[in-house]
Structure 1
């Protein structure tokens, strides 16, 4: 039986557990070496595929591949590059098929968010059109937790855990100094249009007076009058106020409060820093001394405090992607299915890429408290299982011992090179 090679690539913003998905893909493929030859990785996502910049993962030891499960970031490099329409950018797709054919690649696994699933779907379409058989499976990943069909997105649970832990610890710090120092602390978290990460901070508030006292969601336009009143009441009652704010917070006109006027490679508006804006508003109106922090890359890189549930789910979708491909499925994405019942249990299902691509799931209104500044019990029941369990990496001399792969290149076979416009 002829064996074909596979290509795996990582896309978009990385997470603390995306490499666990890579581990699931590579380890599972190695177990099916009678059907899959080599697993190549595209260096820096789809860009590596277009430029024929491939990595031979077969040259990595089993031990190092296993270590990917507890190593953060993107082991093979990621990118923000969205393929355009097939009609207008046909040369890009033809180039991909040319690279696949040159390296005997018949399986393509693309690990990313909504835009990446759109790319995976388009690749599956062009392969049919050009008559080259390629099995294309999307692998879900995004800290934003905004992919459809799946109960949650791998990468989110660990960010949620980091944010909840951080606001609890920082809140205790502020409370201890509030009499003579800082009255207000603001933690800015990721979340352009969906407030899932900000909502996760609410898990830290288990009883009256716990931080965070206020959460500002992208789904709820900022009402400054109500916000100032809430801050003032909180400081009077608890002597301090801790706030979690999503980067995508908007004003009543629908404009981002922190918009810089720039866009990234996906066409998304670049956001500045909403925390200092909110801090200045509070200072100017109420006069309170403040501190603010920007979680930024820290929240998505914190593998040392990752959710065990998240790690297991990230590995499972990688493993399932290979199994689905070998079973003859194509143009699908493995998803996490939450089973019914009081005890949290989950299984793996699937969703068609054509329905996943470019769909963004926001926080439902019933997950946000009536006043717009907190989470409901229903939201807490949804979020709580996703941060459960610890899965610490090994430590060496007090620091996490993460793996760095050799990432040796595959010899190029094409005489032509691909130039980006």
Structure 2
């Protein structure tokens, strides 16, 4: 790969659904870049992801204080704004790629750091190919992030551990509530969680039950075809044994005909089915078949924004991935992604690895069969051993006198535009 000559600026952007720790990765990128001023100039952030690059809507992070950037580590959501925008191929929309090069050249950008999931990895891969196809030297490094935990090669994805912790804690606490009312009122609680094709988040709900705190939990995975009869039998058995049951259902659960139970018939910006509302669907089935009183809830944005209960492992790995991305770029790497490599379960140990983006983009990592119990409604010990370390440790944000967490809001000072307008 041809290296760029002289000191170049860097472009960083956030993409897709944000997480409780994506800003920790941003912190890792910016702080590490600042330590290598001899090789990297300024770090420009794209306002609203890749759209910021296309429209030349850049943010000058050098205008932010050291303390403000450090505070990103404990601030949830996307500090620079995110987007759901997937670049078409060079052949389909050459003008977009030409525009990227125009913006990169105008602002002397030679490093591209894109923080996101599978679709973001695809965007990063396409940008990395600019050097060869359009003759502009750009080093593109993908920074892994996704609550769905479905990126391949890496042991886990930053953002997932905190969601897993939130869902496990929420399921346990709600279950205590239901148990209190089960004698005369609610007997079923249903929690809907994210996960289109992979049931990693739903699996975390089963962690609410442990040897020292047994709780009746049924999990509905996207990887297991929904069988209404078997499901009702499981619900009935749990209620008979414990007096109540908690159900954690993934938004991506499908019926025998291959359709999502929660398919609204709408599509998102990436062309995926717009899901949501599977909890009331399941609740209505229980009402019709078993006549049991229920309550349901949708974790939705709460699960991915809950920085107040983030996993310490997750925060550390998110920062490490941002830091490693810069270090890979400095070494001259292109079209790669830093990864988490687990070296030990007990005690939990991990190190930073590296994966080629051609092996990451557009590939989803599903729950292994060995992680799902034989009845299809729970998790195995192997899964518990995997999930446990990712949820451990607390990394609380600072709290103010009002009892609320103190999160940073950056200045997000714009970089002066040098080019004409561009519509996306």
Q: TM-score, normalised by structure 2?
A: 0.97
Counterpart for residue 404 of structure 2: 399
Q: Can you list the C-alpha shifts for 1:20-75, whole angstroms capped at 9, x where unaligned?
A: 00000000000111111100000000000000000000000000000000000000
Q: Do the aligned residues in 2 keep the contact of 1:20 with 1:311 (CA within 8 Å)?
A: yes
- Within-5 A mapping of 1:178-217: 178-207=182-211, 210-217=214-221
- The partner residue of 1:227 within 231, 236, 239 is 231
Counterpart for residue 282 of structure 2: 278
Any idea what SS the aligned residue of 2:265 has? strand
- Within-5 A mapping of 1:17-416: 17-207=21-211, 210-340=214-344, 342-396=346-400, 397-414=402-419, 416=420
Q: Can you list the C-alpha shifts for 1:195-230, whole angstroms capped at 9, x where unaligned?
A: 000001111110398335200000001111111111
Q: Can you list the C-alpha shifts for 1:347-386, whole angstroms capped at 9, x where unaligned?
A: 0010001110000000011100000000000000010000
* Further displaced range: 208-217 or 187-196: 208-217
- Aligned equivalents of 1:220 and 1:204: distance in 2? 20
- Aligned equivalents of 1:213 and 1:410: distance in 2? 51
Please tell me the root mean square deviation across aligned C-alpha atoms, in Å. 1.1
Q: Do the aligned residues in 2 keep the contact of 1:70 with 1:393 (CA within 8 Å)?
A: yes
Residues 208 and 217 of structure 1: CA distance in aligned 2, closer, same or farther (over 3 Å) = farther
- Aligned equivalents of 1:315 and 1:354: distance in 2? 24
Aligned residues, how many? 419
Any idea what SS the aligned residue of 1:259 has? coil
Any idea what SS the aligned residue of 1:111 has? strand
- Aligned equivalents of 1:377 and 1:252: distance in 2? 28
- Aligned equivalents of 1:213 and 1:203: distance in 2? 9
Q: Can you list the C-alpha shifts for 1:226-265, whole angstroms capped at 9, x where unaligned?
A: 1111111111111111110000011011110010001000
Q: Can you list the C-alpha shifts for 1:56-104, whole angstroms capped at 9, x where unaligned?
A: 0000000000000000000000000000111101111111111000000
- Aligned equivalents of 1:210 and 1:89: distance in 2? 55
- Aligned equivalents of 1:191 and 1:372: distance in 2? 16
Please state how far the C-alpha of 1:272 moved relative to its aligned partner: 2.8
Q: Do the aligned residues in 1 keep the contact of 2:125 with 2:358 (CA within 8 Å)?
A: yes
Residues 34 and 364 of structure 1: CA distance in aligned 2, closer, same or farther (over 3 Å) = same
* Further displaced range: 66-75 or 265-274: 265-274
Please state how far the C-alpha of 1:326 moved relative to its aligned partner: 0.4
Any idea what SS the aligned residue of 1:136 has? strand
Q: Can you list the C-alpha shifts for 1:159-210, whole angstroms capped at 9, x where unaligned?
A: 0000000000000000011011101000000000000000011111103983
Residues 159 and 373 of structure 1: CA distance in aligned 2, closer, same or farther (over 3 Å) = same
Any idea what SS the aligned residue of 1:333 has? strand
- Aligned equivalents of 1:20 and 1:140: distance in 2? 12
Residues 341 and 72 of structure 1: CA distance in aligned 2, closer, same or farther (over 3 Å) = closer
Please state how far the C-alpha of 1:340 moved relative to its aligned partner: 3.9
- Aligned equivalents of 1:403 and 1:419: distance in 2? 31
Moved over 6 A (4+): none
Q: Can you list the C-alpha shifts for 1:287-331, whole angstroms capped at 9, x where unaligned?
A: 000000000000000000000000000000000000000011111
Q: Which runs of 5+ in 2 are unaligned?
A: none
Any idea what SS the aligned residue of 2:261 has? coil
Q: Which runs of 5+ in 1 are unaligned?
A: none
Any idea what SS the aligned residue of 2:410 has? coil
- Aligned equivalents of 2:115 and 2:203: distance in 1? 25
Q: Do the aligned residues in 1 keep the contact of 2:216 with 2:244 (CA within 8 Å)?
A: no
